[in-house]
Amino acid sequence: MVHIKDIPARPSKSDIDALAKFSPATIHEAQGRRGALSSRLKPVDYRMKLCGPAFTVKSSPRDNIMLQLAINYAKPGDIIVVSAGEYEEAGSFGDVLANACLAKGIGGLVTDTGVRDTLQLRELGFPVFSLSTCIKGTVKETIGTTNDSIIVGGEIINPGDVIVGDADGLVVVRRSEVAEAAKLSQEREDAEAGFIEAYKAGKSVIEVSKLEPVLKAKGLVVEA
User: Which residue ranges are tagged as binding site for Mg(2+)?
Assistant: 117
| Residues 175, 11 contacting (CB under 8 angstroms) | yes
The gap between the terminal CA atoms of the chain, to the nearest Å, is: 73
The annotated binding site is made up of: 94-97, 116-117
Sign of CA dihedral 28, 157, 19, 102: positive
CB atoms within 10 A of CB 72: 11
The annotated binding site for substrate is made up of: 94-97, 116
Q: Cα separation of 101 and 75, whole Å?
A: 10
CB atoms within 10 A of CB 194: 11
